[in-house]
């Protein structure tokens, strides 16, 4: 795991055709992370991708998962990045939002301990039309409990 010094690599992953379809809004054009980079912590995992943690408030981050297709060990990378954020970065709460047309991403978030707390009907605009979006959260306390359970 490497802390990104700039948005270029993760931006290139976000704009990969297979990734872009999953993370973009209808008609948004190429994804540009530079405007918000000062509020972000980027964590890179080799040449496969990584996570962007976008600060929402003191101790609160929204995570964006950006990996190229067929990446191996993404669950292990997620656990490493969460441990870093709750540990070294002192995050209290991590949020994420997932369009319901991405069931594999939903399963990935649930496997990491995230829990659903809200849903918005037609909250994400795709080229094919609107889809529902679900919101998930993981607190520092819940993450600690999961770590203790997995080491027991």
Q: Determine the pLDDT at residue 25.
A: 83
List the CATH number of the domain containing 64: 3.40.630.30
Q: What is the mean pLDDT of residues 59-75?
A: 94
Q: Any idea how long the chain is?
A: 152
Q: Determine if the pTM surpasses 0.95.
A: no
pLDDT at 127 over 90: no
Q: Which two tokens stand for residue 128?
A: 């094919």
User: What Rg, from alpha-carbon coordinates, does the chain have?
Assistant: 15
Q: Which two tokens stand for residue 14?
A: 């976000």
pLDDT at 152 over 70: no
Q: What is the mean pLDDT of residues 84-111?
A: 96
CA-based torsion, 90, 68, 27, 135: positive or negative: negative
Measured CA to CA, the distance from residue 86 to residue 60 in angstroms comes to 10
Q: Determine the pLDDT at residue 27.
A: 80
Per the structure, the count of domains in the chain is 1
Closest CA to 114 of 81, 88, 90, 89: 81
Q: Which of 3-7, 19-23, 95-99 has the lowest mean pLDDT?
A: 19-23
The owner of tokens 């080491």 is 151
Measured CA to CA, the distance from residue 127 to residue 75 in angstroms comes to 29
Q: What is the mean pLDDT of residues 88-114?
A: 96
Residue 53 CA, distance from chain mean position: 7
Q: What is the mean pLDDT of residues 55-64?
A: 98
Q: Determine the pLDDT at residue 26.
A: 85
Domain that holds residue 16: 2-151
pLDDT at 86 over 90: yes
- Of the pLDDT bands very low, low, confident and very high (cuts 50, 70, 90), residue 29 is confident
The owner of tokens 């530079």 is 34
């Amino acid at each position: 795991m490497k802390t990104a010094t700039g948005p270029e690599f993760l931006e290139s992953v976000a704009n990969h055709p297979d990734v872009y379809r999953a993370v973009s809004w209808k008609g948004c054009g190429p994804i540009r992370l530079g405007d918000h980079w000062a509020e972000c912590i980027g964590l890179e995992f080799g040449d496969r991708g990584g996570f962007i943690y976008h600060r929402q408030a003191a101790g609160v981050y929204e995570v964006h998962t950006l990996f190229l297709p067929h990446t191996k060990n993404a669950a292990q990378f997620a656990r490493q990045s969460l441990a870093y954020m709750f540990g070294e970065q002192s995050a209290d709460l991590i949020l994420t939002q997932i369009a319901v047309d991405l069931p594999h991403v939903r399963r990935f978030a649930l496997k990491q301990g995230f829990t659903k707390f809200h849903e918005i009907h037609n909250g994400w605009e795709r080229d094919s039309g609107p889809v529902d979006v679900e919101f998930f959260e993981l607190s520092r306390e819940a993450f600690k409990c999961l770590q203790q359970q997995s080491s027991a």
